[in-house]
Chains A and B, each alone.
Chain A
């Protein structure tokens, strides 16, 4: 009713025209198959009167008692339990009706309460009360007498679950235990589709956790660092604010960082700069990405008013910060002109000192008469984005994660999918996080997702069905936008549609410009994403709804490679994130990390990712002839797509000779791309990394 009354959303469209299949509406789904077991269940539950009432239909007879049993067992974890039977097929009048056991599988959907996800304990009545006997009888062997801290001795059931992902699957344990105990349905007949996609966001070599604990550890380390920074004395201006600006600090980094303890024998030492360097004869060292932290100092009028002078003063601050952190807290630091890298407990943070008035000074332009006017320049926009808006967004999403703990899993899985489809570089990290946040802030007509799987399906649905051309995606973080403002934004959107980028995401901090998608996807890449999502959704849903088992859920995560003109295959030796690949490799190279904390007197190799360096060179040199696609999480292949306009012969221009050669066509000198030399260049520029260059030369003609 609230939805129908709300003026901001299109209630009719959402309530009456959005399909809600079971797999997308319910957090966990389970299939009971084969149905012949329900006959045994009826006998066990002594349901002969009901069996007679339903005329021998044991499925309908068992359904009611089974659902009450499960509802009682799941208790406060459950919001709603629903069932779905396959429809009875028609049969010819002269034949017997089909047997019940042939009519497919019984599907139950569980809608879970987010609050119940973290409890591992089912509390029963006190041991001396008569209800305790009922409790023991209900839970069977799992119910134990336990003494609690308040002195009471109660019956309790404790489930083993170490990490967050295991706790999310506690309903699975409850259901299988109860069905086996009371209804004689063994575990092999229960197919639970709750955590099948978790494998894709699991860390390297970890099978029991999907990384929430690692993210929490990184955020704790960041909190300690910010406390150190606040308490730092000796800086000419004290620190007034420390804000994070990295996906780890908003809990949406796909593979969270683990503490890094580099093995010194694996690297080359550079003792003058207290750093480790990669060695050419060893495989590439592990990839360590420093987490950006923006540090604001107290206001002061002493800053110079000239842009170059401000940069030098900032460099002086970075140096002083590094000195003080090393002297006062013994942390290994390395300062450069724009940032200071700090190694703390195996995590590396990149601290950037920011001056609030710097964007304004960059915007100042003097007209010839001496009048100062403020105009946005690319440098000032970039600085504002990095030092003002990114920290605000990070803290807003951090708050969202505290409210909805499932946000992190959904955002990470969604980003993993987009990057696995080789489209990761078309979209900024922040835009994908905001699309995932929209699923939590505007879940209508669904309820809030409690598991990554259902959130991911809804993400695919949103991406494939949202009308990006005519509607902005409004993400109302912290409920700051009122209904009138939303209506105003929508009506103003159509008027300025031409100046806006092709994918528009509006937040309360950014009501007009959609800054996160300004350089974002081009129309072709957005279209490709929409098409891929529309294809992937039915395939994945069918796999998950299949009662016999899901098959290979990684199918939708493998990109189609036949649409690329050239494939560059990389050798895993120099891909540091190789283990993060969708099909985790059986064996990979040692990357020079120790398991236990080791010495931390030298800074590890930071931000060294050969595939990204290679791609940067390729894009700079051939960016106007081709587009390059790569999966940054351990992808082994780079897809190259020639731009069709670049293959048309052009007349000679001194500014446009990159990679082209002159041929004479019809008596005239025209420029065409020098494709053979370019293909050889791919191999030269990536020497050591590139294993093979496969040119599908039937796909293009010069």
Chain B
């Protein structure tokens, strides 16, 4: 494994495309007319032992620096000579933790403008990955047979896609609200069942529906209660009784005066520096 990586790095260095350790660099251009190309940096997707990942091990390719005009279909097409591609996913940042992927609604989560992205390409067979790492390129995103829109054509097609169907929106809203109402009703029913029923240790949960009035569980409410307790305690304690209390109050007072004096000095310095009227 290590030997293979060193050989690959050596081979890349011979060909003149430097790549970071562990990655292989493949040039990619928009079309034939471009002279300079961006470089895709690829490696097999690996996670630390024990960590979980959304993508199957051994068959997933991790690609960095995918240019903005390269879409998922483009990438799938460009990598298909290495082996049949199962899925391509483009993301803004490399996935750091596993997160559940829920389907994004195109009405409520419109796709943001894409910059340079990171791709996870899942092949159907594990041999696709080393074949992709051995690609020489330069890969062409837009060719005669598969033109890719950019510029004015792309903006017009984006605008066309942004004009959405209100009926589809209505259907989606209705289904969501039905599911939500059902969930709320279930929770209500469950809460009503558990009303007044003690759990295994004998504790009864205090809810809004109980007989005694209950405080809402917010930070503001708990702060208010603590404030009230503190005031009650302060009323009961004597502040001027012990000798050490006298001493403490005097010293605090002096320290505060000193602090205020320092602040005022600084403020006057600032005012003097800002003064614009200097007749001398």
Contacts and interface: CB of A to CB of B under 8 A. Distances in A.
A306 B36 contact: no
Contacts of A681: 30, 38, 67-69
Contact of B169 (A335, A657, A690): A335
B38 A674 contact: yes
B39 interface: yes
Contacts of B164: 273, 336
B108 A311 contact: yes
B276 A669 contact: no
Interface on chain A toward B: helix, strand, loop, or mixed SS? mixed
A689 B18 contact: no
Contacts of B21: 652, 669
Contacts of B173: 312-313, 315-316, 319
A20 B143 CA distance: 66
Contact of B18 (A277, A662, A674): A662
Interface string A434-469: 000000000000000000000000000000000100
Contact of B152 (A319, A620, A659, A688): A688
A679 B36 CA distance: 9
Interface residues of A, number: 73
B21 to A, nearest CB: 7
A645 interface: no
Given A17-B277, A313-B177, A372 B218 contact: yes
B36 A680 contact: yes
Contacts of B18: 662-664, 669
Nearest to A658: B116
B19 to A, nearest CB: 6
B218 A373 contact: yes
A685 B115 contact: no
A386 to B, nearest CB: 17
A594 interface: no
A3 interface: no
Interface string A510-554: 000000000000000000000000000000000000000000000
Nearest to B94: A654
A273 B34 contact: no
Contacts of A674: 36, 38-39
Interface in B106-122: 107-108, 112-116, 118
B151 to A, nearest CB: 3
Interface stretch (A78-86, A124-132, A225-233, A608-616): A608-616
Contact of B160 (A277, A336, A470): A277
Contact of B151 (A272, A309, A685): A685
Interface in A656-694: 657-664, 669, 674, 676-677, 679-681, 684-690
Nearest to A610: B155
B69 A270 contact: no
A381 interface: no
A503 to B, nearest CB: 17
B25 interface: yes
Interface in B6-63: 13, 18-21, 25, 30, 34-39, 41
Nearest to B117: A658
B234 interface: no
Nearest to A690: B151
Contact of B69 (A372, A614, A623, A685): A685
B19 A662 contact: yes
Interface in A557-600: 574
B166 A322 contact: yes
Which residue of A313, A681, A684 has the most chain B CB atoms within 10 A of its CB atom? A684
B107 A621 contact: no
Interface residues of B, number: 61
A601 interface: no
A277 B152 CA distance: 13
Given A278-B159, A661-B39, A315 B270 contact: no
Interface string B155-194: 1101110011110011011001100100010000000000
Nearest to A274: B163
A13 B65 contact: no
A29 to B, nearest CB: 28
B90 to A, nearest CB: 13
Interface in A304-320: 304, 306, 308-309, 311-313, 315-316, 319
Contacts of A661: 38-39
Contacts of B180: 304, 306, 309, 312
Given A304-B180, A371-B217, A372-B217, A280 B156 contact: yes
A308 B175 CA distance: 13
B136 to A, nearest CB: 16
A673 to B, nearest CB: 11
B154 to A, nearest CB: 8
A676 B35 contact: yes
B155 to A, nearest CB: 5
A621 B270 contact: no
B114 A620 contact: yes
A650 to B, nearest CB: 12
A661 B36 CA distance: 11
Contacts of B35: 676, 680
Interface in B213-264: 216-220, 222
A380 interface: no
A376 to B, nearest CB: 13
A337 B105 CA distance: 11
A371 B218 contact: yes
A616 B158 CA distance: 13
A335 B116 contact: no
Contacts of A687: 150-153
B67 A280 contact: no
B107 A336 contact: yes
A512 B220 CA distance: 22
A201 B170 CA distance: 43
A353 to B, nearest CB: 13
B91 to A, nearest CB: 11
Nearest to B184: A304
Nearest to B93: A655
Given A621-B116, A657-B41, A661-B39, A680 B34 contact: yes
Nearest to B155: A613
B156 A278 contact: yes
Contacts of B64: 654, 657
Given A663-B18, A676-B36, A685-B69, A605 B159 contact: yes
Interface in B85-115: 93-94, 107-108, 112-115
A663 B216 CA distance: 60
Nearest to B158: A613
A687 B150 CA distance: 6
A622 B68 CA distance: 10
A677 B38 contact: yes
Nearest to B69: A684
Contact of B163 (A270, A313, A315, A669): A270
Interface of A: 12-13, 16-17, 270, 272-273, 275, 277-280, 284, 304, 306, 308-309, 311-313, 315-316, 319, 322, 334-337, 370-374, 467, 470, 494, 574, 605, 608, 610, 613-614, 616-617, 620-623, 652, 654-655, 657-664, 669, 674, 676-677, 679-681, 684-690
Given A309-B180, A372-B217, A621-B116, 10 more contacts: A16-B277, A319-B169, A372-B218, A470-B274, A608-B159, A610-B155, A620-B114, A654-B94, A659-B65, A687-B150
Interface of B: 13, 18-21, 25, 30, 34-39, 41, 64-65, 67-69, 93-94, 107-108, 112-116, 118, 150-153, 155-156, 158-160, 163-166, 169-170, 172-173, 176-177, 180, 184, 216-220, 222, 267, 270, 274, 276-277
Name the 8 nearest CB pairs between A and B, nearest first: A687-B151, A688-B152, A676-B36, A373-B219, A658-B116, A621-B115, A620-B115, A652-B20
12 contacts: A273-B163, A308-B108, A308-B176, A312-B172, A315-B173, A336-B164, A336-B169, A373-B218, A605-B159, A620-B115, A688-B153, A689-B152
